[in-house]
Structure 1
Amino acid sequence: MSFWKIFFKNTSDMNWQTNIELENTENILLVKHLENEGQYLDIYFSIDDDINLYDLEKLCDSVGWVRRPLKKVKMAIDHSFLTICLFYKSCQKKNLIGFARVTSDNSFNATIWDVVIHPKFQGKGLGKVLMDQVIKQLRYSDISTITLFADPQVVSFYRNLGFITDPDGVKGMFWYPL
């Protein structure tokens, strides 16, 4: 399994202001009338750690991720600095179509994990919209060093969002049990 550790290029000319405070928020309209498979859907996001784990598991299954024990997923979410969900509503039910979570030292550094968009909604700009919201929330919290881990096939996606690989020769290291 290979990953790239990627750093966000912190440029002072970027305006990352947001009027959404880093608190539990629900049902913030993000994209109005997104066309998807002949339907027009309103896409919402929420900053919320009360996530339906079975819906998240189905979302991760849809992109072929290896299943993880739900108890550990719940623990990871509970200990995350930020979780953001993208969803649309049908019959008053939230349909989870995107997710990202962030860990942080709450001062200087944050790492983005588990960024996922349902395959039926990929290629519509929702990954970029999701990442924009993650970065806005982190910049709102005055986090200046933002990293993420990405599979090699999606590195170019993150590069287009302003992330760079190995700035100043910094190399990530991993320890795995044998």
Structure 2
Amino acid sequence: MMAFWKIFFKHHNIFSSNLNNQLVNQDAADKILLVKYLEGRGTIVNVYLSFNSYVNLHDLEKLCDSVGWVRRPLKKVKIAIDNSFVTASLFYEQNKKKFLIGFARATSDTSFNATIWDVVIHPDFQGQGLGKMLMAQIIKQLRYEDINTITLFADPQVVNFYKHLGFITDPDGVKGMFWYPL
């Protein structure tokens, strides 16, 4: 599996942000400037990255609403975030207020495997590389922790986005399986 990651990082240049060769200490960094002077919502903003696990749940709900996701109970969303191995938020500040424009999280067994969940970028900021940068930072954090197998679930309309980042469907014939209560 390690050979896969060596090939992945050699052939997939997803680390094109100003954090290219810098690993972010999740506990030490409240916010890191990720993109300076990005156009969004008709204005120019600086976009920040935070690995702080605190996220305003109502802001996250609004962000998820903006892309048409089904609402989930906030109590359960909080539990999911609290039990995540890595969380990452993208935001800009205006008049001393934070505006959440991106989010992703990963769960892990902290040894071998991790799954990335809830990757979302506000529609006003899509198509500018923020999703790619967010994924790069999540993957970088997981690889720093020596996680070798990173999985995710993707809706059909975003599968190509993840394929461009080097994710493959059904590697070696492996199939995801699900169990749902009746």
Q: TM-score of the superposition, structure 1-length normalised?
A: 0.90
TM-superposed deviation, 1:43: 0.3
Q: What per-residue deviation string (whole Å, max 9, x for no partner) do you get for residues 65-95 of structure 1? A: 1111100000000000011000000011110
Corresponding position of 2:142: 138
SS in 1 for 2:136: helix
Contact 1:18 1:140 in 2 (8 A): no
Contact 1:102 1:112 in 2 (8 A): yes
Q: Matched residues in 1 for 2:4 and 2:116: separation?
A: 15
Contact 2:102 2:121 in 1 (8 A): yes
TM-superposed deviation, 1:57: 0.4
Q: Matched residues in 2 for 1:148 and 1:18: separation?
A: 24
Deviates more, 1:17-26 or 1:142-151: 17-26
Segments of 5+ residues of structure 2 without an aligned counterpart are 16-20
Q: Matched residues in 2 for 1:47 and 1:20: separation?
A: 8
Q: Matched residues in 2 for 1:63 and 1:106: separation?
A: 30
Corresponding position of 2:170: 166
- The CA RMSD over aligned residues, in Å, is 1.6
Corresponding position of 2:82: 78
Higher relative contact order (CA 8 A, sep 6+): 1
SS in 1 for 2:180: coil
Q: Matched residues in 2 for 1:47 and 1:34: separation?
A: 20
Q: Greater strand share, 1 or 2?
A: 1
Change (3 A) 1:117 1:60: same
Q: Matched residues in 2 for 1:24 and 1:61: separation?
A: 30
Alignment identity in percent?
67
Q: Which amino acid aligns with 1:119?
A: P
2:115 is equivalent to residue 108 of structure 1: no
TM-superposed deviation, 1:135: 0.6
TM-superposed deviation, 1:24: 5.3
Contact 2:29 2:52 in 1 (8 A): yes
SS in 2 for 1:30: strand
TM-superposed deviation, 1:37: 4.0
Q: Which runs of 4+ in 1 moved over 6 A?
A: none
Q: Matched residues in 2 for 1:22 and 1:166: separation?
A: 31
Corresponding position of 2:60: 56
Q: TM-score of the superposition, structure 2-length normalised?
A: 0.89
Q: Matched residues in 1 for 2:115 and 2:28: separation?
A: 20
Q: What is the number of residues matched between the two proteins?
A: 170
Segments of 5+ residues of structure 1 without an aligned counterpart are 1-8
Q: Matched residues in 1 for 2:41 and 2:122: separation?
A: 13
Q: Matched residues in 1 for 2:57 and 2:113: separation?
A: 27
